[in-house]
Amino acid sequence: MSDHLFEHEQDIHTDFKEKMTYGDYLQLDHLLDNQKRLSNHHDEMLFIIIHQVSELWLKLIIHETRGAIEAIEQDNLRASFKMLARVSKIQSQIIHAWDVLATLTPAEFMAFRDKLGNASGFQSYQYRLVEFVLGYKAPHILKIYKKNSDVHAILEEAYHKPGLYDVAIRALARNGFAIDQAVLDRDVSKTYEKNASVEKAWLDVYRDVSTYWELYELAEKLVDIEDWFQQWRFRHMKTVERTIGHKIGTGGSSGVGYLKQVLDHYFFPELWELRTKI
């Protein structure tokens, strides 16, 4: 049936001697040659592909978030909404990836875990970049990547740039809200700490949605991203617990214990606290 239908598609291109193909455009030769198992175990392929796909999604999250930061800085909030909404959709994809990885049983993982050596998702520099663009900055993180000067330079640049919440707060100030000058002038290489003037500004936005509709929508986009991020962290923690219990991680972290600790961190604290006060 499919061959019969193909015969009637007279305009389909079949001669690619001088033309770029789908595989050429996506560089599939390189992409599909990068799943190299270090063991002969069948399920190592799953482990590699899940993590490689997640890294690609992280790359797109960084790309979209940076675009949103630039749009907000230019007071083009509407453009940022599309990018931030896309980030949330990407996050849902990464969360579902844990469901696939959770099909890996402890016995299956232990059959090739030793081949990982000290390699660990904890070392993912793109995950750190996501934290940086969202505003979470921890100085000890940069030390992990000193060995790789190129990666270290990428991270250090992002470390000293304003994160998504920084530019959102500055947008509040440009719209006439009284934000403490110390917040606007703060060292953006340090993790943001909640501030009463920022909370009051967001409360005013939520209490007068019709007047501040775009700022209100921006706030809800940020909440979406944080919500999905927390769900991603939770699924990560439960998948690790399901697969290796409370063993020490391959990278030396406490594994499940560490992942449980980070569940309590908020990127945009005032946007969550105002829900109790509004």
- Binding-site residue numbers for heme are 236
Collect all residues with Cβ–Cβ distance below 8 Å to 5 and sequence separation of at least 6: none
* pTM to 2 decimal places: 0.89
The pLDDT tens digits for 24-55 are: 999 999 999 999 999 999 999 999 999 999 99
Residue reference for tokens 């390699």? 119
Q: What pLDDT is recorded for position 262? A: 77
Does domain 39-276 bear CATH number 1.20.58.480?
A: yes
Model confidence over 135-164: pLDDT tens digits?
998 888 888 888 889 999 999 999 999 999
CA distances from 99 to 93, 102, 104 (A): 10, 5, 10
- Kindly state the average pLDDT of the residues 9-35: 82
Q: Which residues are annotated as a binding site?
A: 47-51, 113, 236, 250
Burial of 246 (0-12, 13-18, 19+ CB in 10 A): exposed
Question: Which residues are known binding-site members for substrate?
Answer: 47-51, 113, 250
Domain ranges, ordered by start, for the chain: 39-276
Mean local confidence (pLDDT), 46-65: 97
